Structure 1
């Protein structure tokens, strides 16, 4: 049996988190292939995303959907902070501050803003503020997320 061997890449349990803790994610450059794959997967066939140099667009360059920016950052958070401990996304409030273009590199700072143990089971409601930046250090998105996280096993 291997149950007593720690799992590689295991996320943080709610007991490991404190209000004010902060982490910085890795950075990722968004490519044309990322944009095309995302559009094909989601059906976001909007002209500003599928036509290079769309004349009716308000943004110069090759903009990407805010949802793509968000999902890359959530991927970082999942892989590093809540893998195996995240139980549910309960609430999300998002604000787009600036466009992200193909070729931009994004990363984020995640800050724990609340940890509230639940009365049922070994879990807690954890809130965080996520600030997303481009390669120039400009804020491009901010959002708050409230998640249900598992606790460390008591057995």
Structure 2
């Protein structure tokens, strides 16, 4: 019976997380190819990203669009925290703290800061604080994300353990 086989990377149902709980993503080095592909796909053809002779002032190295850093971290969150359970991204508030350049390695720590079950049972609004850091453990971005997460199909009480399906 295939339903008894655990699904890899299954996200958390809202009942399986708690306010104050923390998670860490994997790390990802951002390459020149990542920058070129991202700016080409999005149309972010701003001089700072396409002209390597452009003077960046205080930034040493090839700048990475903040939207690319954010997208990579959200990809990690999608793959490990909300895959199959995320229903909607409702709100995001971002603040860039330091530049990211080609060759930097980024990762994030996620803290659950709020869980509010909705009036429509079996879902909740979950708020997370995401702190993004580079390979030197320097903060480069912080943001809050408000998401709608599904509840367990069998709808157990909050705080019950995560099942293997």
1:79 aligns with 2:83: no
Summarize the alignment of residues 78-117 of structure 1 with structure 2, pairs less than 5 Å apart.
78-117=78-117
Following TM superposition, by how much is the alpha carbon of 1:3 offset from its aligned partner in structure 2, in angstroms?
Answer: 3.8
What SS is found at the alignment partner of 1:15?
Answer: helix
**Which stretch shows the higher mean deviation, 16-25 or 46-55?**
46-55
SS of 1:82's partner is coil
Gaps of 5+ in 2: 156-165
Residue 138 (structure 2) pairs with residue 138 (structure 1)? yes
CA distance in 2, matches of 1:53, 1:139: 27
After TM superposition, the score normalised by the length of structure 1 is: 0.95
Q: Deviations over 1:40-93 (max 9, x none)?
A: 1100000110111313x3322100100000000000000011100000000100
3-state SS in 1 of match to 2:120: coil
Q: Distance in 2 between matches of 1:132 and 1:9?
A: 21
Number of residue pairs aligned between Structure 1 and Structure 2: 154
Instruction: Provide the aligned C-alpha RMSD in A.
Output: 1.3
**Whole-Å separation in 2 of the counterparts to 1:89 and 1:29:** 25
CA distance in 1, matches of 2:78, 2:67: 16
- Quote the Cα distance in structure 1 between the aligned partners of 2:9 and 2:140: 28
Distance in 2, matches of 1:150 and 1:136, equals: 36
Determine the C-alpha separation between the residues in 2 that align with 1:64 and 1:53: 15
Q: Which structure 1 residue ranges, 5 or more long, are not aligned? A: none
2:84 pairs with 1:66 = no
Q: Which residue of 2 is the match for residue 118 of structure 1?
A: 118
Query: 1:4, CA displacement in angstroms?
Result: 4.6
TM-score when normalising by structure 2:
0.89
Residue 126 of structure 1 and its aligned partner are, at CA, apart by 0.2
Q: Which moved more, 1:110-119 or 1:2-11?
A: 2-11
